[in-house]
């Protein structure tokens, strides 16, 4: 979605500047209705819950108090948020580091692009859950690969990956890679490589040409891919449960457990509101960055 | 939505908040979601011999009814059984509270029965329609603290919480919670799992220190928390659904869990299930009829049907959880090995040391915070 926005914006600007075609406003009604019903509506309900109060085991009483937010001001939850931020930042950077060379190769050198792109997209045809469970088997200590590595003395005999943070990061990078690669590829695909050649002809070495020509031109793609990875990562719920052995709490798990295990919907709603608020700030920052990039990119 | 497996519904990371909010919205509007509703259910005219028709919608724990029992029930009554499953009491509650209707029978554990009653989610039970239950139930399962007058629930099966360990992977004998914690923090470090359920895990630490399983005393809970935080770095995983397989496969050597799973491990591998000396929990799962049931007649028929000794025997032989029928009625019908298995039917002496989960909302709030702290430690 972010890619679309980035791509469409200049065109719209051009239209309005030239006094281009105007469409009747009611054409937007289905989209606005959808937006109200499935985004603004639920968000409003969440806001309503976040100031409500839990009584007894699970009864929700609608009032207005900010106790739920006050309760969040607690080192315990601060730790959870920091850990979530760390997962999101490190996860995004790691996915970028793995994804960029892949997208670069695909866009510039690959001869069978369609096939390779298909291979990246195919995992999407299988449930996220099943793909994550597959890693449970791959990372288990008795998986043949590990046995072989242990036997060859390449890894220590007591190496434990499953149910540690390492497993969480592996699962995260694996699952978010396509979300990163596709926008990167879209940006690199539109690159005019002769510009790089020109830079090198004029005295840049390969690294300088990359830094001064390629990178600024594909930066919107980098930002789009990072955002597509970063935002869902802040709510990541499944990978820590399955591959992390549920031994660590991230914001997504905290929210989930308030709704499902602790029966405290108001508190869960308050946490969700805080996460939504933080995300809004992140997206606004991104929008500013992206706009600036576009102006420079011209 | 209903054709997707339950775990996927629960964990769908992108849909989670949206779905919760939507269902909350529906619940807040007072509308009943019709996603689960099935047409063709009988109406609720309470007669002595209701004409049974249609379908029984049974919402239950997975793998908790012998498949043969479904067939026999359909043969006898002509009612077909539609099934759906939940992985925890809390999932059941979240579903009912969010407004899902149309289930005819649900199977909450005692403490959850109490919570569902508080939320006005269960119908009163008309015991005059359960003659077989009246005749065959073991009186010790009547009037339990979660439902003192048996107004909303009928016991289904019962069991204990304890731990199971592999005798071939551990040198020595473990008999108490103190042993469990010591072994977990010593030779079995990173070879131990605990349930993903805070009453049981926090309860184990309370009992280890000689406190009540249902303590609501902040000081006592603080001590229990200290033990749990010390235990945390030694835990391999927190799971209620995978520990049985992990212990059987040897990936874990010890697990805090329930007796039925323990008995199944013991049947497969050299292992022992322990009800700890300090005492522990005994739980009772109950049949309950939620509000908005389409076919309560069929629900009564099922409950009464299941209290026949042959059916009770069939059930316990299948899932290894204790039957709530009078034991004398099971003799001669049930596999004698199962009846003699103390993991399935603990002795009265063991049962005397057990407490049912029965703390109040205050104790619940305290436990929730401890649990978050334990998990994020």
Give the pLDDT confidence of B43-54 residue by residue, as tens digits.
Answer: 333 444 557 888
Of A125-129, B273-277, B310-314, which range is least confident? A125-129
Instruction: Write down the pLDDT at residue B11.
Output: 28
A288 pLDDT exceeds 90? no
CB spacing of A260 vs B364 below 8 angstroms: no
Of A17-21, A130-134, B49-53, B179-183, which range is least confident? A17-21
CA dist B238 and B251 (Å) reads: 13
Quote ipTM for the complex: 0.77
A180 pLDDT exceeds 60? yes
Query: Taking CB atoms and an 8 Å cutoff, what residues of chain B touch A241?
Result: 11
Q: Which of residues 243-272 of A touch B (CB under 8 A)?
A: 245-249, 252-257, 259-265, 268, 272
Alpha-carbon distance B144 to nearest alpha carbon in chain A (angstroms): 19
Question: What pTM was estimated for this model as a whole?
Answer: 0.78
**Radius of gyration (Cα) for chain A, nearest Å?**
23
A66 pLDDT exceeds 60? yes
Q: Which of B290, B284, B288 is nearest to B95 (CA)?
A: B290
Q: Assign A50 a pLDDT band (cuts: 50, 70, 90).
A: very high
A154 pLDDT exceeds 80? yes
Helix (H) or strand (E) holding A257: helix A251-260
Token pair 């309860």 is found at: B203
CA dist A278 and A293 (Å) reads: 23
Q: Assign A295 a pLDDT band (cuts: 50, 70, 90).
A: low
Instruction: Write down the pLDDT at residue A296.
Output: 54
Token digits of residue A175? 């699952």
Query: Taking CB atoms and an 8 Å cutoff, what residues of chain A touch B8?
Result: 127, 129
Instruction: Write down the pLDDT at residue B50.
Output: 59
Residue pLDDT, tens place only, B322-356: 999 999 999 999 999 999 999 999 998 999 999 98
Instruction: Write down the pLDDT at residue B52.
Output: 82
Q: Which residue of A has its CA nearest to B23?
A: A42
CB spacing of A245 vs B17 below 8 angstroms: no
CB spacing of B373 vs A76 below 8 angstroms: yes
Average pLDDT over residues B31-57: 52
Helix (H, G, I), strand (E, B) or coil at A269: helix
Instruction: Write down the pLDDT at residue B229.
Output: 97
B75 pLDDT exceeds 80? yes
**Helix A251-260 crosses helix B361-376 at what angle (to 10 degrees)?**
160
Quickly count: other Cβ atoms within 10 Å of residue B197's Cβ.
22
Sequence-distant (≥ 6) Cβ neighbours of residue A104 within 8 angstroms: A184, A188
CA dist B269 and B250 (Å) reads: 9
CA dist B250 and B167 (Å) reads: 11
CA dist B298 and B156 (Å) reads: 16
Instruction: Write down the pLDDT at residue A290.
Output: 75
Query: Percent of chain A scored above 90 by pLDDT?
Result: 58
Q: Which of A122, A95, A117 is nearest to A105 (CA)?
A: A117
Q: Assign A145 a pLDDT band (cuts: 50, 70, 90).
A: confident
Q: Which of A295, A238, A235, A236 is nearest to A271 (CA)?
A: A235
Of the candidates B20, B94, B238, the beta carbon closest to that of A247 is on: B238
CB spacing of B238 vs A249 below 8 angstroms: no
Helix (H, G, I), strand (E, B) or coil at B133: helix
Query: Taking CB atoms and an 8 Å cutoff, what residues of chain B touch A38?
Result: 18
Helix (H, G, I), strand (E, B) or coil at A236: coil
Average pLDDT across chain A, whole number? 87
- Which residue would you say has higher pLDDT here, B177 or A128? B177
Helix (H, G, I), strand (E, B) or coil at B5: coil
Token digits of residue B332? 């001669």
* Strand-pair category, B55-61 with B192-194: unpaired
Residue pLDDT, tens place only, B218-261: 999 999 999 999 999 999 999 888 899 999 999 999 999 999 89
Of A179-188, B45-54, B75-84, which range is least confident? B45-54
Average pLDDT over residues A137-161: 84
Sequence-distant (≥ 6) Cβ neighbours of residue B176 within 8 angstroms: B208, B276, B277, B278
Token digits of residue A235? 């709510």
Q: Assign A294 a pLDDT band (cuts: 50, 70, 90).
A: low
A132 pLDDT exceeds 90? yes
Residue pLDDT, tens place only, A201-214: 999 999 999 999 99
| B142 neighbors B284 (Cβ within 8 angstroms) | no
Instruction: Write down the pLDDT at residue B53.
Output: 82
Average pLDDT over residues A139-151: 85
Instruction: Write down the pLDDT at residue A298.
Output: 39
Instruction: Write down the pLDDT at residue B67.
Output: 95
CA dist A57 and B117 (Å) reads: 11
Q: Which residue of A has its CA nearest to B195?
A: A246
Instruction: Write down the pLDDT at residue B174.
Output: 97
CA dist A109 and A91 (Å) reads: 27
Average pLDDT across chain B, whole number? 86
CA dihedral A103, A109, A111, A116 (to 10 degrees): -20
């Amino acid at each position: 979605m972010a890619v679309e926005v980035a791509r469409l914006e200049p065109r719209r600007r051009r239209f309005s500047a030239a006094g281009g075609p105007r469409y009747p406003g009611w054409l937007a009604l289905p989209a606005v209705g959808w937006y109200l019903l499935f985004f603004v509506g639920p968000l409003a309900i969440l806001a309503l819950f976040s100031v409500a109060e839990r009584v007894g085991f699970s009864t929700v009483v609608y009032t207005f108090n900010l106790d739920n937010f006050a309760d969040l001001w607690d080192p315990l939850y601060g730790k959870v948020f920091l850990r979530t931020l760390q997962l999101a930042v490190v996860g995004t950077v790691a996915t970028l580091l793995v994804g960029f060379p892949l997208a670069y190769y695909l866009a510039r050198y690959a001869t069978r692009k369609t096939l390779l792109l298909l291979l990246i997209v195919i995992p999407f045809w299988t449930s996220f859950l099943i793909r994550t469970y597959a890693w449970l088997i791959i990372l288990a200590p008795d998986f043949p690969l590990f046995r072989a590595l242990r036997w060859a003395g390449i890894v220590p005999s007591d190496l434990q990956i499953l149910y540690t943070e390492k497993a969480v990061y592996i699962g995260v990078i694996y699952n978010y890679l396509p979300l990163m690669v596709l926008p990167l590829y879209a940006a690199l695909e539109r690159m005019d490589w002769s510009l790089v050649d020109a830079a090198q002809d004029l005295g840049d070495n390969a690294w300088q040409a990359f830094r001064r020509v390629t990178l600024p031109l594909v930066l919107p793609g980098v930002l789009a891919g990072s955002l597509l990875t970063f935002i869902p990562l802040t709510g990541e719920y499944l990978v820590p449960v399955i591959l992390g052995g549920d031994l660590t709490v991230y914001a997504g798990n905290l929210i989930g457990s308030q709704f499902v295990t602790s029966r405290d919907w108001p508190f869960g709603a308050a946490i969700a509101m805080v996460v939504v608020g933080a995300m809004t700030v992140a997206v606004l920052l991104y929008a500013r960055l992206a706009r600036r990039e576009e102006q420079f990119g011209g | 939505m209903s054709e997707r497996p339950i775990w996927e519904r629960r964990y769908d990371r992108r849909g989670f908040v949206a779905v919760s909010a939507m269902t909350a919205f529906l619940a807040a509007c007072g509308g009943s979601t019709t996603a689960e509703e099935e047409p063709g259910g009988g109406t609720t005219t309470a007669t002595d011999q209701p004409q049974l028709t249609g379908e029984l919608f049974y919402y239950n724990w997975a793998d908790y009814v012998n498949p043969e029992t479904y067939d026999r029930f359909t043969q006898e009554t002509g009612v077909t059984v539609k099934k759906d499953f939940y992985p925890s009491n809390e999932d059941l509650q979240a579903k009912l509270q969010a407004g899902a209707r149309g289930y005819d029978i649900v199977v909450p554990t005692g403490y959850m029965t109490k919570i569902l009653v508080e939320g006005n989610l269960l119908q009163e039970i008309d015991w005059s329609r359960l003659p077989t239950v009246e005749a065959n139930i073991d009186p010790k399962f009547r009037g339990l603290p979660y439902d003192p007058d048996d107004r909303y629930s009928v016991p289904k099966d019962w069991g204990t919480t304890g731990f199971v360990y592999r005798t071939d992977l551990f040198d020595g004998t473990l008999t108490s919670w103190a042993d469990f914690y010591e072994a977990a923090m010593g030779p079995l470090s990173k070879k131990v799992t605990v349930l993903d359920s805070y009453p049981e895990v926090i309860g184990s630490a309370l009992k280890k220190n000689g406190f009540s399983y249902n303590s609501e005393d902040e000081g006592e809970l603080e001590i229990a928390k200290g033990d749990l935080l010390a235990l945390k770095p030694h835990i391999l995983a927190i799971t209620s659904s995978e520990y049985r397989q992990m212990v059987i496969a040897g990936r874990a050597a010890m697990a805090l869990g329930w007796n039925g799973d323990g008995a199944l491990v013991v049947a497969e591998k050299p292992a022992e299930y322990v009800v700890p000396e300090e005492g522990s929990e005994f739980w009772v799962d109950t049949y309950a009829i939620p509000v908005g049931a389409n076919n309560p007649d069929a629900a009564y028929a099922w409950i009464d049907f299941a209290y026949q000794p042959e059916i009770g025997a069939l059930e316990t032989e299948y899932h290894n959880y204790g039957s709530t029928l009078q034991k004398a009625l099971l003799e001669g019908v049930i596999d004698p090995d199962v009846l003699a298995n103390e993991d399935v039917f603990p002795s009265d002496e063991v049962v005397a040391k057990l407490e049912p989960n029965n703390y109040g909302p205050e104790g619940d709030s305290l436990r929730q915070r401890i649990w978050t702290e334990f998990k994020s430690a």
